[in-house]
Amino acid sequence: MLDACLNPAMASEITLQPVRRHGVDAAIFFSDIVVPLRLAGVEVDIAPGVGPVLAAPLRGRADVDRLIEGARTLDADRLAPVAEGVARTVAALGATPLIGFAGAPFTLAAYLVEGKPSRDHFGARRLMHADPGAWTALTEWVADIAGAFLRAQVLAGASAVQLFDSWAGSLTLADYSTHVAPASTRTLGHVRDLGVPIVHFGTGTGHLLAAMRDVGADVVGVDYRTPLDEASRTLGGRTPLQGNLDPALLAAPWPVLEAAVRDVVRRGAAAPAHVVNLGHGVPPDTDPAVLTRIVELVHSVR
């Protein structure tokens, strides 16, 4: 998968296929949150049935320092495959916008510390508290490579960017605000001057929505756990939302799924704007025809 992400022609084709097949209103660039780590020289792969796996998880300050000192700089040459993939895609999309993509510092740092997906990200949270200096150094480094990754996509033609903090839901609001938000702000600072809309999404982050917006996001993605009208109230009714159909419903009978889609659209009307989307990723065994039908239904609602 990581090889596909760094093959401009293949990444572009994979990005374009959902637009052709389902008629969605925007494309999201095909990538993975660990691609910037791979580009920086981190030995990481995606294991089938597991997810990202790192050869040398970080265990303390010495490991963090060694990583940062030995890392490659994500300059234009290093990011060239990403920029070329984006440029190819933008040219093929025409008027359809492309959304750039990157993982947020906490999620990337959690993978670096845990070495693989984790249920509670205890190792990352332990480092955060046991050695705040090492944690800050790590998250600032990750913020800069994620920011460079986003910036390359925008400069190549992406119309918006989306920052994914998949594991931020394991944090308390206090820990997020103190130990994570500054790094996320730093990431988004790499594209703020480019004037593109910024979407920020996490899973299990209903208690963090305002803090996630305040790092510099224009739109907040909401997972399936928090109804959109509730999320809008939490955000003061002034923040556009993205979300949040439960992916498990994609296997439900159509009448059940249709009612759920209409409910998401209805609740999303509480926000000043609403991008209809799933509340997490598409399960691999989903019938693609169901996705097409959902898009057609949303487009029919006025």
| Each residue's pLDDT tens digit, 63-87 | 999 999 999 999 999 999 999 999 9
Domain count along the chain: 2
Are 53 and 47 contacting, i.e. CB atoms less than 8 angstroms apart?
A: yes
Whether 124 and 273 share a structural domain? no
- Asked if residue 255 and residue 112 are part of one domain, the reply reads no
pTM listed for this prediction: 0.96
Assess whether pLDDT exceeds 90 at residue 47. Answer: no
- Assess if residue 234 is contained within a domain: no
Per-residue pLDDT reduced to its tens digit, 100-144: 999 999 999 999 999 988 888 999 999 999 999 999 999 999 999
Local confidence band at 49 (pLDDT 50, 70, 90 cut-offs): confident
Q: How far apart are alpha carbons 217 and 240 in whole angstroms?
A: 10
Which of 221, 237, 254 is the last residue before a domain boundary?
A: 221
Q: Confirm if 27 and 93 have CB atoms less than 8 A apart.
A: yes
Does 259 lie in the same domain as 300?
yes
Asked if residue 251 and residue 195 are part of one domain, the reply reads no
C-beta separation of 242 from 220 below 8 A: yes
**pLDDT, position 51:** 86
Distance from C-alpha of 202 to C-alpha of 103, rounded to nearest angstrom: 10
In this prediction, residue 233 carries a pLDDT of 98
Residue 139 resides in a domain? yes
Same structural domain for residues 204 and 265? no
Q: Are residues 213 and 249 in the same domain?
A: no
| Three-point CA angle 151, 73, 199, nearest 5° | 25
Is residue 50's pLDDT more than 90?
A: no
Residue 56's region, left for phi above 0, alpha for psi from -120 to 50, else beta, is beta
Same domain flag for 169 and 297: no
Report the pLDDT value the prediction gives residue 117, as an integer from 0 to 100: 86
In a domain, 18, yes or no: yes
Domain that holds residue 278: 245-302
